[in-house]
């Protein structure tokens, strides 16, 4: 079934009504809703994983791990909601002697923005889909969610949504707080609906940019938090290459083929010293020899992968280092080019191959690396493979300019859910300066409001001097953390 525009409008209207009912829920209540979803997903895990395996070609171990991540994320967000950091409650009392003149009573906190439209991803049917990071963080912020199911696993999306809605109903959440729609007409109407106040998206650059433009063209433009992918360049210094060449190549092979290369953080570029093509080919071939190929997520993605690899290998200055194939379960392909070729044609560095393929770029001298970063577009991640004595401060600084996460002697696949995580980057990696992973993702769906000279009893609970919700408050410039049940004074120390 495909959702009609009328049905979409009804879902958004119900979501807005649910948002109005639930926006003032205290942190404990809202956290309990998230925990109820987590428990329900765990309870329905067998059925969800079985259906996911049929629709996505992903193996059961991978899917169970992804579902575990999804459940963990919900519970982590529940903890964050209870802590109340996201309110950023700030209180400035009346001060007749304030430096620029008398100050009135001012109090500010973050409030939820309203209904959020979320578009699920194809490559993570749990972690970036129905109850993935966008949906979970929007609910944690106090928003309502209307989720547009990805066609690549529509039946799974419907089953997951049923689990989520039943869990919220049983937990006493307002009806309509979460709903699911399908089909392109509903997707376009979701972006257009005046009650929708933001969009979360994970997907292709072309599809994301079209929706981004649509959101910006509304009479009331709204934020579009789009993750559009990236190339994830890795830079290997001469010293690291001399000391750890085979280790680096083995790690590269494992990372580029993880999940059949269908991760947004796959290393798509590896910059290495030139002149060792035969040795590199031999090591990579050995590292890939035991690779167990699997089918890609869909026929459409398989065709896109084939086309992108063929387009790049037919580009002047590019040749094949490790020959793969485009069978139903494709073997990995590694292409090769030079720094001279990419300076002549920078588009070589901007071709994403969504699948088990990557490009090795040979440079003549390490001094070229800083210049080569200038040819790159925005990245989700960049990586430095370097030795302790390498002077790479300028290169590292440049990488922070073009990426959201910079790694030292690691590999970008694997994005843990945590407090300090940042999963984003300059365009075209994303369309914002925010993160879609980690507790900071909640703040995307909040906006600050200041209250001036309000009576104490009419202020929202996080801004009252009595602080009935026991949230952190910054009072006259000094952070105060209330001691919660089970805490000691030391664990509640001021930051």
Residues marked as catalytic = 227, 264
**CA gap 35, 80 in Å, rounded:** 12
Strand segments, DSSP code E, in 282-428 are: 319-322, 333-338, 357-363, 379-385, 403-408
Buried b (16+ CB within 10 A) or exposed e, 93-125: eeeeeeeeeeeebbbbbbbbbbbbbbbbbbbbb
How many whole angstroms separate alpha carbon 63 and alpha carbon 50?
A: 9
Contact 114, 142 (CB under 8 A): no
H helices present in 89-229, as ranges: 133-141, 154-170, 184-192, 205-217
Q: Are 394 and 243 in contact (CB under 8 A)?
A: no
Report the Cα–Cα distance between both ends of the chain, in Å, rounded. Answer: 52
Closest CA to 226 of 415, 376, 18, 378: 378
Question: How many Cα neighbours within 13 Å face the side chain of 121?
Answer: 25
Distance in angstroms (rounded) separating the CA atoms of residues 48 and 480? 44
Task: Report how far residue 463's alpha carbon sits from residue 108's, in angstroms, rounded to the nearest whole number.
Answer: 7
């Amino acid at each position: 079934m495909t959702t009609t525009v009328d049905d979409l409008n009804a879902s958004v209207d119900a979501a807005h009504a649910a948002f109005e009912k639930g926006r003032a829920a205290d942190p404990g209540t809202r956290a309990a809703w998230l925990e109820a979803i987590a428990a329900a997903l765990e309870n329905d895990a067998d059925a969800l994983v079985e259906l996911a395996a049929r629709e996505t070609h992903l193996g059961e171990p991978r899917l169970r791990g992804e579902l575990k991540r999804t459940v963990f994320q919900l519970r982590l967000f529940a903890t964050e909601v209870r802590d109340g950091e996201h309110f950023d409650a700030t209180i400035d009392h009346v001060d007749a002697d304030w430096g620029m003149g008398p100050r009135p009573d001012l109090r500010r906190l973050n409030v939820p923005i309203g209904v959020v439209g979320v578009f699920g991803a194809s490559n993570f049917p749990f972690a970036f889909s129905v109850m993935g990071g966008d949906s979970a963080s929007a609910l944690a912020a106090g928003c309502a969610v209307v989720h547009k199911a990805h066609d690549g696993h529509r039946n799974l999306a419907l089953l997951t949504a049923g689990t989520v809605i039943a869990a919220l109903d049983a937990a006493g959440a307002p009806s309509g707080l979460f709903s699911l729609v399908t089909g392109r007409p509903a997707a376009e109407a979701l972006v257009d609906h005046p009650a929708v106040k933001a969009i979360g998206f994970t997907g292709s650059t072309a599809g994301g940019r079209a929706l981004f433009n649509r959101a910006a063209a509304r009479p009331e433009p709204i934020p579009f938090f789009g993750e559009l992918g990236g190339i994830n360049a890795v830079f290997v210094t001469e010293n690291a290459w001399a000391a750890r060449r085979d280790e680096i190549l083995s790690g590269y092979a494992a990372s580029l083929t993880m999940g059949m290369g269908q991760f947004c953080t796959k290393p798509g570029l590896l910059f290495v010293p030139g002149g060792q093509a035969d040795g590199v080919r031999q090591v990579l071939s050995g590292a890939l020899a035991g690779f167990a190929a699997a089918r890609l997520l869909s026929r459409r993605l398989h065709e896109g992968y084939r086309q992108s690899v063929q387009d790049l290998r037919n580009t002047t200055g590019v040749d094949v280092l490790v020959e793969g194939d485009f069978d139903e379960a494709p073997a990995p392909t590694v292409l090769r080019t030079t720094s001279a070729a990419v300076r002549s044609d920078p588009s070589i560095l901007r071709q994403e191959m969504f699948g088990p393929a990557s490009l090795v770029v040979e440079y003549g001298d390490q001094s070229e690396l800083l210049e080569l970063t200038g040819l790159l577009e925005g990245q989700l991640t960049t990586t430095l493979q370097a030795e302790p004595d390498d002077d790479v401060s300028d290169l590292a600084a440049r990488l922070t300019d073009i990426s959201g996460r910079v790694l030292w002697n690691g590999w970008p696949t694997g994005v843990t859910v945590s407090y300090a995580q940042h999963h984003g980057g300059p365009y075209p990696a994303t369309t914002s300066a925010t993160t879609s992973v980690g507790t900071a993702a909640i703040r995307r769906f909040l906006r600050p409001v200041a209250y001036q000279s309000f009576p104490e009893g009419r202020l929202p609970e996080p801004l009252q001097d009595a602080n009935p919700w026991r949230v952190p408050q910054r009072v006259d410039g000094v952070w105060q953390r209330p001691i919660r049940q089970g805490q000691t004074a030391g664990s509640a120390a001021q930051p």
